[in-house]
Chains A and B, each alone.
Chain A
Amino acid sequence: GDSVTQMEGPVTLSEEAFLTINCTYTATGYPSLFWYVQYPGEGLQLLLKATKADDKGSNKGFEATYRKETTSFHLEKGSVQVSDSAVYFCALGDATNAGKSTFGDGTTLTVKP
């Protein structure tokens, strides 16, 4: 079945550092890929998405490129802020069942001033 593997956390960075959170997936067909963010006490919010190979999703300084050849969707940000501290989830959309998404285990990011 479909699966998503994220780099293990927690990740602790200093403000303005470069961020990479790795995500690889296994799926049949051509799923859409998503990054969601969860702030403490909140539900998940969509951060960015990509729907086909070589698409780049971007939002709030975060970027991720859909790499079909390496089945990856790594999240990057050039300069993190304290306010980026949260849990980040990589997810893929089921190509045949849109209501079902498969999530990675989440990576906790803490940014220190």
Chain B
Amino acid sequence: KAGVTQTPRYLIKTRGQQVTLSCSPISGHRSVSWYQQTPGQGLQFLFEYFSETQRNKGNFPGRFSGRQFSNSRSEMNVSTLELGDSALYLCASRKGQGDVNTEAFFGQGTRLTVV
């Protein structure tokens, strides 16, 4: 079955612009989480959506937002881009919520470069 699909794979934006990243989870998976990966900070949790509702949020400024649609696809948006937002953004899907034992399936990520 198809894995987690993230689009686009690569993106170059200018400071001050905004960007929208997309994630299509594995079919039947209802939980989508987003992570930011940078060389200096490692993998940091952004937020998690389940059934179109944000369930958890990490310590990121309000410029980072997201949403989930009824088909479980998710988007994240970053407004007023800063150079420090350059990172690999990873999306992970899980089948349900509340089961801490289930693994997360990751997409290949979107490489965002802010210039």
Contacts and interface: CB of A to CB of B under 8 A. Distances in A.
Interface in B1-57: 4, 6, 31, 33, 35, 42-43, 45, 48-50, 55-56
A18 B49 CA distance: 40
B113 interface: no
Interface in B60-115: 90, 92, 94, 96-109
A43 interface: yes
A95 B100 contact: yes
Interface residues of B, number: 31
Nearest to A41: B108
A80 B58 CA distance: 36
Nearest to B34: A99
A34 B102 CA distance: 10
A105 B56 contact: no
Given A43-B90, A100-B58, 5 more contacts: A43-B6, A98-B97, A99-B50, A99-B97, A106-B43
Contact of B103 (A42, A46, A95, A104): A46
Contacts of B94: 98-99
A46 B101 CA distance: 12
A43 B103 CA distance: 14
Given A89-B43, A103-B43, A98 B100 contact: yes
A100 B48 contact: yes
A97 B56 contact: yes
